[in-house]
Amino acid sequence: METFSAIPVFVAVVENGSFSQAAQRLGTTKSAVSKRIRELENKLGVQLLHRTTRQLSLTEAGERYFEYAVKAVIAAGEGIDSVTQLQGNPKGELKINTPMSFGRLHIAPLVADFLAQYPDISLNMVMEDRVVDLVEGGYDLAIRGGNLQDSTLIARRLAPCRSVICATPGYLEQYGTPVIPEDLLSFNCIRFAYFSGGSDWTFHGENGPVKVKICGNYQVNNSEALLQAALAGLGIARLPTFAVGDDIAAGRLVPVLKGYQLPMQTFYAVFPQRRHLPAKVRVFLDFIIERLGGDQPYWDKMISE
């Protein structure tokens, strides 16, 4: 039994990369975690972790054991989820991962209302733009935009992710307004560094797709920073409508090339395949889908009105 009870401690150490961070996650002390790992290794008769002053790494035996340990923790969690659903009261820690800008602009403002509605849920939200491993990170759910590549995950569509080409009225008054996509070659185009198309902006018009290789003197890996540059009149930007809806509605930015369509992506909520979808995940999904507005999210309505 002592071996079984040490499994979640071992998993927490590997996922967090240190005894101290695992202890913080488990609500215990670093010495207690270290003791449990030492006892587990003694019971198994193998060394599971290489310990140095700077980092921990798995031994070959540790890698094998971790594979089964994660499955054991997941199975135990599914059992808890199944029982919790019978109680009809969503509870427990809900750990989610969101893209930085989208999370700050559209998920973080919903947190207070969500927790007021579900006071027995403890929300741990991590905002970052890199794609994380949900199982290794201990996430219940992640919000991702674009094309999904991990077929082992379950996905639920949240909202479309549309883009718009825009600039300030002052910039357009000074430098003119592009009429066709090729006109962009004469403008300073500022761009998002992580854009999958690189410097190629593709437009769809009456005569089919048009690809333009734009150029400019500024690129940045954050859409909010790109928005600030556009608002400062630096140039023409390709921005997601979720980041720019307020500014277009207020007239601070003006859409251009409105006769052409830009490729559209989608925001998804993704979560690991589980026999029982935890009630805490289900109610969070339903809550944000209702608040975001589905196929016509509120930020797009602001632009179209």
pLDDT at residue 84, rounded to an integer: 55
pLDDT at residue 178, rounded to an integer: 96
On the CB side of 103, CA atoms within 13 Å amount to 17
Angle ∠(154,157,159) on CA atoms, nearest 5: 150
Terminal CA-CA length for the chain:
63
d(CA 61, CA 192): 43
Question: pLDDT of 257-289, one tens digit each?
Answer: 999 999 888 899 988 866 567 889 989 999 999
pLDDT at residue 128, rounded to an integer: 87
* Token reading at 111: 């947190």
pLDDT at residue 170, rounded to an integer: 97
pLDDT at residue 86, rounded to an integer: 43
pLDDT at residue 40, rounded to an integer: 85
Instruction: Name residues of the chain where pLDDT drops below 70.
Output: 1-3, 53, 75-88, 147-152, 273-276, 305
pLDDT at residue 179, rounded to an integer: 95
CB atoms within 10 A of CB 224: 14
pLDDT at residue 1, rounded to an integer: 54
Helix (H) or strand (E) holding 238: strand 236-240
pLDDT at residue 12, rounded to an integer: 83
Q: Which residue type, as a one-letter code, is found at position 23?
A: A
Angle ∠(92,98,100) on CA atoms, nearest 5: 135
Count of all residues that appear for the chain in the document: 305
* Token reading at 288: 């944000």
pLDDT at residue 283, rounded to an integer: 93
Those residues with Cβ within 8 angstroms of residue 84's Cβ, 6 or more apart along the chain or in another chain: 90, 91, 92, 278, 279, 280
Q: Which of 223, 289, 279 is nearest to 77 (CA)?
A: 279
pLDDT at residue 78, rounded to an integer: 62
Whether 223 and 243 have beta carbons less than 8 Å apart is answered as yes
Q: Which residue type, as a one-letter code, is found at position 85?
A: Q
